[in-house]
Amino acid sequence: MIWAKRIAAAAGALLIWALLTFAFISKDRLCNGIIERLAQEKVTLCYDRRTTSMTGCEMRFVTLLFVHSPVAKIKAFSATPWKIVAEGIRLEGMAADAFPPRIERVTILPLGGTISAEGDFGTLRGTFSLSERHLSLQITPSSLMQRNYRSTLRMFKQKNGKFVYETAF
């Protein structure tokens, strides 16, 4: 019985340490880490305004560039250690040629390894594993997507009436 008390005390101390570390870690460091990681993949975020809070950071009026070419404009982008959300996305350039240009919201849960998105293309749900380097996406296309973007849907396999895309990275 004494071992249970020691384990509970150790777990409590670990939880307190984790909460204090989270409370005092710089959220600017979180934003800078995201920006630096994207830069390694030749993706640049140009933003009008950036704010940080106790839980994360938020950027407003973001332009997303890939190799210096505009890909999307994003009204709001927020990041916390457990959730990344982009809202009010308008695709540009080659991205707008492949998908309908308006995306309402994209949500990524890094700890759970899930992705979800809604927009003019329909709805998208997916999972990813950084350790296994695997991505799986399932799209339920809108009538607009089925009618005007058939070439993009060909990248997806049809399984049981659903469009699925799987890749390793």
* Domain shared by 120 and 158, yes or no: yes
Query: Do 64 and 115 reside in the same domain of the chain?
Result: no
Domain count, the chain: 2
Lowest-confidence region among 12-16, 17-21, 68-72: 17-21
* 98, 115, 132 - which closes a domain: 98
Report pTM: 0.78
Domain presence at residue 17: no
- 110 occurs within a structural domain: yes
Q: Indicate if the pLDDT at residue 4 is higher than 60.
A: no
Long-range contacts, 9-18 (Cβ 8 Å, 24+): none
From the list 106, 81, 84, the residue with the least C-alpha distance to 95 is 106
Other CB atoms closer than 10 Å to residue 63's CB: what's the count?
15
Q: In terms of domains, do 41 and 68 share one?
A: yes
User: Same domain, yes or no, for 81 and 145?
Assistant: no
The answer as to whether 32 is a domain residue is yes
Domain that holds residue 94: 25-98
Domain limit, last residue, from 35, 63, 98: 98
Q: Smallest Cα–Cα separation from 102: which of 114, 116, 115, 118? A: 118
Residue 103 and residue 72 in one domain: no
Which is more confidently placed, 25 or 159?
159
Which pLDDT belongs to residue 1? 53
Tens digit of each residue's pLDDT (9 = 90 or more) over 48-85: 999 888 778 899 999 999 998 999 999 999 988 889 99
For the cut 90, the answer to whether the pLDDT of residue 115 exceeds it is: yes
Taking only the tens place, the pLDDT of each residue in 133-142 is 899 999 999 9
pLDDT for the residue 156: 93
Over residues 36-52, the pLDDT tens digits come to: 888 888 899 899 999 88
DSSP letter for each residue of 43-80: EEEEEEEEEE-SS-EEEEEEEEEETTEEEEEEEEEEEE
> Which residues touch 104 (CB under 8 Å, ≥6 apart)?
87, 88, 89, 118, 119
pLDDT at 16 over 70: no
129 and 90, same structural domain? no
C-alpha closest to that of 137 among 147, 120, 122, 151: 122
pLDDT for 86 beyond 60: yes
Greatest CA span in the chain, whole angstroms? 67
pLDDT for 24: 59
Same domain flag for 158 and 112? yes
Last residue of a domain, one of 98, 116, 148: 98
For range 112-141, the mean pLDDT: 93
| % of the chain surpassing 90 pLDDT | 52
Q: Is residue 13 part of a domain?
A: no
